[in-house]
């Protein structure tokens, strides 16, 4: 868990240091007080662009020089580890602005190194439009969840993207060097199939957990939320469903890349692959596609998925700290489902960070909890 969290020149928090050694942490305050900013700061301890996917220059406190920092002391069963990330004044002088990551004071070249020490999930209001938004959002959503369980998934994604960019560039320049194209397409095939299989296996696990919760004789909190049917769609996904072997899958995608060189050169991108895949969700009990469900039903489906993912992460054999971030999670939930959700969160092994505008909403039975209160100016107190 995170024992201490420090924000420096981060959005509306010029300087904040919080003692957070508890299982459940709730931030209560009016809209605009900076509750979500704190969760966003924590999300930068996961690889990527954080839960808002904000530009780095937008994160610093308004009127500052643009530098910002977030640090945390992680406590595990064996050792305490200090994580740090942010934009230093020196980094602002570089042409390509990117945040630095430090683990116990040492710079890390790759953000994926964070996965050795922390695994993180989050659910935020922006995800309420997941089922009606662009496919890129759904891929990112699924890949983030896969990565919390299979850290190597992040590596396959980055290597596939890198090889694809290089292939697109080679085709743009004429594509006359067949040896280079063959090598890049071989690399793409290896990583593409690993990506697609990881997604496929993860969806199978989530589906199994959701169905089991509905069929159990015990009344479990997660059974209050509707089970969902998830379907992955894409060229490789169709081949997987046909039962092709790993070698056959790689050979088929490699052949497809070869045959589509002319097309990809004309359109300036790679037409097929895991970067074009999508997934669709159905409300199981109603047999209705999620995008056609009500706002409340969509939120319930998302939480049902989250609870299945939560079970996977709870059972993961890892020494990494496990964190769950929930921003305004009670919105659009009736009292029955809200009570079931908080009952389940009271049982979790993860450290849970939540936000809300009203303290009465948080019906948390867990004794190990802390409430922080923010006023309209973002000042934080515990009473």
Secondary element (H or E) of residue 167: helix 152-172
Burial string for 363-383 (b: 16+ CB within 10 Å, else e) reads: ebeeeebbbbbbeeebebeee
C-alpha to C-alpha distance for 257 and 236, rounded to whole angstroms: 12
Q: What is the mean pLDDT of residues 198-222?
A: 79
Q: Pick from 195, 209, 202, 196: which is nearest to 146 by CA?
A: 202
CA distances from 332 to 142, 195, 285, 294 (A): 23, 34, 19, 10
Question: How high is the pLDDT of residue 217?
Answer: 52
pLDDT bin (cut points 50, 70, 90) of residue 222 is low
Q: pLDDT tens digits, residue range 33-79? A: 999 999 999 999 999 999 999 988 889 999 888 999 999 999 877 78
**pLDDT over 90, % of the chain:** 69
Please determine, for residue 84, whether its predicted confidence score (pLDDT) is greater than 90: yes
Predicted local distance difference test score (pLDDT) of residue 319:
87
Model confidence at 220, pLDDT cuts 50, 70, 90, reads: low
Closest listed residue to residue 378, CA positions, set 3, 126, 18? 18
**Is residue 308's pLDDT more than 60?**
yes
pLDDT for 221 = 59
Read off the pTM: 0.92
Each residue of 119-176: pLDDT tens digit? 999 999 999 889 999 999 999 999 999 999 999 999 999 999 999 999 999 999 988 8
Nearest to 359 by CA among 342, 377, 336: 342
Sign of CA dihedral 319, 112, 281, 124: positive
Q: At what angle do helices 178-215 and 152-172 cross, to 10 degrees?
A: 140
Say whether domain 128-315 belongs to CATH 1.20.1050.90: yes
């Amino acid at each position: 868990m995170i024992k201490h969290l420090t924000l420096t020149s981060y959005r509306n928090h010029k300087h904040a240091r919080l003692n957070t050694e508890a299982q459940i942490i709730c931030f209560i305050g009016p809209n605009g007080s900076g509750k979500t900013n704190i969760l966003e700061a924590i999300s930068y301890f996961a690889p990527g662009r954080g839960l808002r996917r904000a530009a780095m220059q937008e994160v610093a406190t308004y009127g500052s020089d643009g530098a910002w920092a977030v640090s945390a002391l992680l406590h595990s069963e064996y050792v305490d580890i200090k994580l740090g990330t942010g934009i230093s004044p020196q980094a602002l002088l570089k042409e390509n602005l990117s945040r630095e990551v430090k683990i116990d004071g040492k710079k890390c070249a790759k953000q994926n190194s964070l996965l050795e020490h922390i695994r993180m999930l989050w659910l935020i209001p922006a995800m309420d439009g997941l089922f009606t938004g662009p496919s890129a959002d759904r891929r990112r959503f699924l890949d983030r969840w896969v990565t919390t369980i299979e850290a190597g998934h992040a590596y396959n994604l980055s290597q596939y993207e890198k090889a694809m960019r290089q292939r697109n560039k080679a085709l743009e320049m004429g594509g006359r060097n067949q040896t280079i194209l063959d090598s890049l397409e071989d690399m793409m095939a290896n990583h593409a199939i690993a990506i697609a299989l990881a997604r496929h296996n993860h969806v199978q696990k989530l589906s199994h957990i959701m169905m089991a919760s509905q069929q159990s004789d015990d009344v479990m909190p997660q059974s209050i939320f509707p089970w969902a049917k998830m379907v992955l769609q894409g060229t490789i996904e169709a081949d997987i469903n046909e039962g092709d072997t790993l070698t056959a899958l790689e050979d088929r995608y490699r052949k497809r890349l070869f045959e589509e060189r002319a097309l990809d050169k004309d359109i300036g991108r790679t037409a097929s692959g895991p970067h074009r895949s999508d997934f669709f969700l159905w409300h199981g009990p109603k047999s209705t596609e999620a995008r056609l469900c009500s706002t409340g039903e969509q939120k319930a489906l998302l939480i049902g998925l989250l609870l299945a993912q939560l079970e996977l992460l709870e059972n993961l054999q890892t020494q990494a700290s496990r964190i769950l971030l929930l921003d305004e999670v009670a919105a659009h939930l009736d009292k029955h489902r809200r009570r079931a959700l908080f009952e389940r969160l009271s049982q979790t092994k993860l450290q849970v960070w939540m936000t809300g505008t009203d303290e009465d909403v948080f019906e948390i039975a867990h004794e190990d909890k802390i409430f922080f209160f923010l006023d309209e100016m973002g000042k934080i107190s515990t009473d």
